[in-house]
Amino acid sequence: MRNFGRLLPKGAVVLRGGNGYSRGVGGESGTSSIELLAPDSEFTQEQPNSFSSIWKPAWHPSWRTGALACATSTVVVLFINIGLVIYATKNPRYGMDQDNIIGTFYSGSCDKSRTIGLWLHLGINALSALLFSGSNYTQQCLAAPTRSEVDAAHVERRWMDIGVPSLRNLFRIKPERAFLWIVIGITSIPLHLLYNSAVYTSLVANDFLVTVVTQDYFEPGAYSNITEALIRNSYPDSLIAHFTKEFSPVLEEYNNSTRSYENLTPAECTKLYNTNFIYNHSNLFLITNRNSNTGHNNTLLDVVRIYTEEASSSCWMCAYDQVQRGPSDTDYLRPAFSCRPSDLTSNVTTRLPWLIKLGTGEEVEIGGCKSERTVEKCKVRLSLGIMIAVICCTLFKACCMITAVVRSREPTLVTLGDALDSFLKIPDPTTIGMCFADRRFIKREWRRGCTVGPRQWKQRGVQRWWTSVGKMRWITCNFFSSTTIVVATVLLWLGMQNDGVVWSTDLKSMWARGFGDVNNVSQFTIPSRGMTRAALLSNLPQIILSFLYLTYNSLFTCMLLGHEWSLFSHRHRTLRVTSPHPGQRSTYWLQIPYTYAIPLMTLSCVLHWLLSQSSFLAVTEILDPLGKKNATIISAVGYSCIAIIFLLTLGILALVTAAGIGYKQFAAEITTVGSCSAAISAACHPAGANSEETTGKKVRWGDVGTEPNLGVRHLTFSSEKGVRKPVLGEVYAGTGERECDCL
């Protein structure tokens, strides 16, 4: 048989002859006649170009039903996002921050804020998974080729993907469908970058004063002079007046009982203040075990302001020798420390003395504390700017999905059953004579136009699921997954080093820091302190995870495609198609059944949620010792070591699961075609019988006996009962000529 790449004009399509297989124009036909496709064929019919016909959908009960469901779910997510914006901006209880265009869901208890934020992020990732799966479904349908596109590719000795997500097909499908595919993909990028940062927990922490006093400081008429205390502790003259002005109101408010203080033991005090941020307490009086008449009359011994934004903010509890100047002449002073607060807390809890060395060099023992109680002001907030970007992307995505449903009129080969139904009705002349062809044969020989003749069946036994996945797909998934796991492990180690924890002993301390909790240690502060930059950096891993999940999902798609293909060699089966005819069954899923699709969607949601708790936008507002809002608002990339551990564990388990499932055996022995349209087509050349006889019937692939015209056995799909498994060492050939000239 002559090469069809030279005999047929580009895009030419032929109909089978009377003997049940197709001939090319000018090909040798024996006794069969040659017929061109009828003008009204479902694969070649041209639609009128009038404006009304362009927007008049030709509805088929097919994948469009699923795509419409995806579009509907996207619209629902759109309205949920709009509802969140309206609630956060119009909430009369909290209002909106007009300067930063930020709304508030809740303000109050920090524990309740964390809980609300955790559930909101879980809901956001569930909605994100819904958008992601809907986009993936619609993109796979848009990239599915029509029969005419497949035929045109086969004439050029190229092949297209059937039943799997494909970039290869984008270069051969209609530009309109390719454009919609690209837009749906592009609109997913901002969603992964911004969605989790649209809602965030803002922690309100307190700067506070630590005032060291004698035990008679609170007695009526006790002498206290802040200026004298600052001079005695060697504060610079240029700062004494400034400090006196700032510190005096705190001391006066205590004397006037305008603030609420509680008495604490040294053990209670060290436990309470040995934390990252102080948000329910503020100013602290450390009461020594000495009286004012011991050495001097002033009951006020020392005053230091503590900056909670510093990573070592709790180290003031350790003994300090001097105070250090701040970044400017008008800044407050910070203590220099020389011990670990956790060690000090343990020592004081075991009733060892708590010693503080003053700026004068004197060492005093702390006998008790008075701590100011404050109202918690943590907030769950919504960034209106980020949410508007999310809403716009969701709107564009919904419009593209609806357009895909309305504009798609020509039947496409979305599932394996669609391809089998098409090739059995109208066999493809470019794949005649190679019923034994698998994906490797198509890539190495058929694509180069090499000879095709009878060949021995060499496959030994049933193959495993992993063989249906292309080598490059396995390499891509394993390489990027392994690289990501290694990088995440290194970042986890660096985070643990930064937190000062040790894996073998401090797992409890990592757990205590929680999932997605903001603190002044586990964070990377952005130099410009811009919230947008911090939001983008904290969510950049979300895009990487989405890419990895796509490759992971494609592994299952290919393996399940191979499984479905192998079932046709096991027993007679009904074709699963998107537009069923009598005797065929419809489908509500593409290639991954619900028993796999639902766990995969759940895995995607949990992974993205864990990632949102591992790397997140950390915003902290700092109040001064008087409870007034400072200009200091810290926007940082926060991280949680314990969440990263859970994320890595689940990711590794997912990869091991995929490898384990890939080790399963197919139902029966059959060619490994994968998603290759040419290999699928090669198996669909009926032997001597009228191909219409298989329409609406259960079919099975296998050895159908000797081909009368060639004198060798033939492998194909048949509805007859005499189909058997291929025989090792038996010679098989197709229904056409034995030889095909090389290009």
State which of 323-327, 522-526, 719-723 shows the largest mean pLDDT.
719-723
Quick one: tokens of 237? 């003259």
Mean pLDDT of 467-486: 86
pLDDT tens column, 574-620: 888 888 878 788 776 778 888 898 999 899 889 999 998 888 888 88
The answer, yes or no, to whether residue 42 has pLDDT greater than 70, is no
Give Cα 385 distance to the centre of its chain.
22
Residues 403, 120 contacting (CB under 8 angstroms): no
Residue 76 has pLDDT above 90, yes or no: yes
Whether residue 137 contacts residue 397, with contact meaning beta carbons closer than 8 Å, is answered with no
Given a contact cutoff of 8 angstroms between Cβ atoms, the answer to whether 456 and 731 are in contact is: yes
Cβ 447 vs Cβ 158: under 8 Å: yes
Tokens of 81: 């996002």
- CA atoms of 532 and 723, how far apart (whole Å): 64
Residue at token pair 């105070």: 323
What pLDDT shows up at residue 292? 66
Residue 425 · residue 174 · CB < 8 Å:
no
Tokens representing 450?
A: 């090499």
Average the pLDDT over each of 150-154, 267-271, 410-414, 447-451 and give the range with the smallest value: 447-451
Structure confidence by residue, pLDDT tens digits, 360-396? 777 888 888 999 888 888 888 888 888 999 999 999 9
Categorize the per-residue pLDDT at 343 as very low, low, confident or very high, splitting at 50, 70 and 90. Answer: confident
Helix (H) or strand (E) holding 205: strand 199-206
Q: What's the pLDDT tens digit per position in 236-252?
A: 676 677 667 767 776 66
Kindly tell me if the per-residue pLDDT of 229 is higher than 80: no
* Per-residue pLDDT at 504: 46
pLDDT at 509: 67
Cα of 33 vs its chain's centroid, Å: 56
pLDDT at 44 over 80: no
Q: How far apart are CA 412 and CA 140, in angstroms?
A: 11
The pLDDT assigned to 419 comes to 92
Place of tokens 């947008």: 532
| Closest alpha carbon to 374 in 572, 214, 206, 507 | 206
H/E stretch holding 648: helix 641-662
Query: For residue 145, what is the DSSP state?
Result: P
Q: What is the DSSP letter of 576?
A: B
**700-706 and 363-373 beta bridge pairing:** unpaired
| Range name among 237-241, 453-457, 471-475, 671-675 with the lowest pLDDT average | 237-241
The burial class, CB within 10 Å (0-12 / 13-18 / 19+), for 738 is: middle
Read out DSSP for 723-738? Answer: -BPPPTT-EE--SS-S
The Cα–Cα gap between 171 and 191 comes to 26
Q: What is the pLDDT of residue 278?
A: 82
Mean pLDDT of the chain: 78
Among 71, 191, 78, 72, residue whose Cα is nearest residue 141 = 71
| Terminal CA-CA length for the chain | 13
Burial of 482-503, coded b for 16+ CB within 10 Å and e otherwise, reads: eebbeebeebbeebbeebebee
Tell whether the model's pLDDT for residue 337 goes beyond 50: no
Average pLDDT, integer, range 609-638? 81
Statement: residue 61 has pLDDT above 60: no
Task: Name beta bridge partners: 263.
Answer: 370
Give CA–CA dist 237/561, Å, rounded.
Answer: 81
Q: How many CB atoms lie within 10 A of CB 87?
A: 12
Predicted confidence at residue 331, as pLDDT, reads 46
Q: Number of C-alpha atoms within 13 angstroms, CB side, residue 456?
A: 4
Model pLDDT, residue 577: 87
Q: Which residue has the higher pLDDT, 7 or 209?
A: 209
CB atoms within 10 A of CB 249: 13
Question: What burial class does residue 453 get, using C-beta atoms within 10 Å of its C-beta: 0-12 exposed, 13-18 middle, 19+ buried?
Answer: middle
| Helix or strand (DSSP H, E) at 541 | helix 531-570
pLDDT at residue 350 is higher than 80: yes
Tokens 């079919």 belong to residue: 699
Range in 11-25, 437-451, 473-487, 537-551 the model is least confident about: 11-25
Q: Strand pairing of 208-213 and 281-288? A: parallel
**For residue 469, what are the β-bridge partners?**
none
Give CA 656 to chain center in angstroms.
19
Q: What is the pLDDT of residues 191-227, one digit of tens each?
A: 888 888 888 888 888 888 888 888 888 877 777 777 7
Average pLDDT over every residue of 53-74: 68
Q: What is the dihedral of CA 677, 552, 568, 424, to 10 degrees?
A: -20
Residue 729 — φ and ψ, nearest 5°? 90, -10
- According to DSSP, residue 699 is labeled B
Q: Are the beta carbons of 600 and 477 closer than 8 angstroms?
A: no
Asked if pLDDT for residue 255 goes beyond 90, the answer is: no
pLDDT at position 118: 87
Quote the strand ranges of 341-446, DSSP E. Answer: 355-357, 363-373, 378-383
- pLDDT, average across residues 142-154: 92
| Mean per-residue pLDDT, 529-539 | 78
pLDDT for residue 250: 67
CA gap 282, 28 in Å, rounded: 95
The 3-state DSSP class for residue 33 equals: coil
The pLDDT assigned to 521 comes to: 67
pLDDT at 622: 84
Tokens 């036994």, residue located: 461
Looking at residues 626-645, what average pLDDT do you find? 79
Of 566, 520, 573, 623, which Cα lies nearest the Cα of 250?
623
Residue in the block written with tokens 């056409």: 736
More confident residue, 403 or 516: 403
Of 102-111, 314-323, 467-476, the one with minimum mean pLDDT is 314-323
Mean pLDDT along residues 283-297: 77
Contact in structure between 98 and 361 (CB atoms under 8 Å): no
- Render pLDDT for 554-581 as a digit per residue (tens, 0 to 9): 899 999 999 999 999 888 988 888 888 7
Mean pLDDT is lowest, of 44-48, 58-62, 466-470, 623-627, for: 44-48
Q: What is the pLDDT of residue 630?
A: 64
User: Residues 9-41: pLDDT tens digits?
Assistant: 334 444 333 333 333 333 333 333 333 333 333
pLDDT value at residue 311: 55
* H-helix or E-strand spanning residue 602: helix 594-614
Please report, rounded to a whole number, the percentage of residues in the chain having pLDDT higher than 90. 15
Confidence tier at 531 by pLDDT (50, 70, 90): confident
d(Cα 124, Cα 195) in Å, to the nearest integer? 7
Asked if pLDDT for residue 312 goes beyond 60, the answer is no
Length of the chain: 743
Are 558 and 470 within 8 A, CB to CB?
Answer: yes
CA-to-CA distance for 577 and 60, rounded, in angstroms? Answer: 12
